[in-house]
Amino acid sequence: MTIPVSTVPAALAALVTQVKAQVVTDTLANQIVVCVGEPGMDLPNDIIELGSSVRRNVKPETFIGSFAAQALDEQYDLECSVSSWSGDPDPVAVINRAYVLAAYIETAVRTDPTLGGNVLVSYPAGTSGGNAEWTSDPVGRLAELTVTIHVENLT
């Protein structure tokens, strides 16, 4: 019997590749960090953190096609965080930049909803956050968003 393995790691790896392909089109691409997990100590102005949180649900599924008798219906939400900082006091500019970073994630998923053939379907499921907050060291504005990608698969 083959043990069903979650598609989370493979889907996340594909998402990293797909988001990086979107980011290279940005005029400031060399200043954007795309990472899994915390970006490190030397923080650039723009960060895209993929898979910052995963909420996964599974349930047993009946025999379907080539799937074994103990197949699992796997559904999960990959939460991704984007943040943009600017020394410009204009809150709208930094909020706009955060949404541009979020769009790279959403476009990557919309371009390949199978996440490299690893899942049946994925799609952008929403964002939260986005308020421009003041920072004091250094002085400027910071906007952060959480982008949720919903994923469905049978394993």
Note the pLDDT tens digit of each residue in 73-113: 899 999 999 999 999 889 999 999 999 999 999 999 999 99
pTM for this model (two decimals): 0.90
**Cα Rg of the chain (Å, integer):** 18
pLDDT tens-digit series, residues 107-131: 999 999 999 999 999 999 999 999 9
Whether 30 shows a pLDDT value over 70: the answer reads yes
Q: Mind listing the domains of the chain with CATH numbers?
A: 8-154 (3.30.2000)
CA distance 96 to 90: 10
User: Which token pair is 121?
Assistant: 């379907």
* Residues 64, 66, 70, 75, CA torsion sign: negative
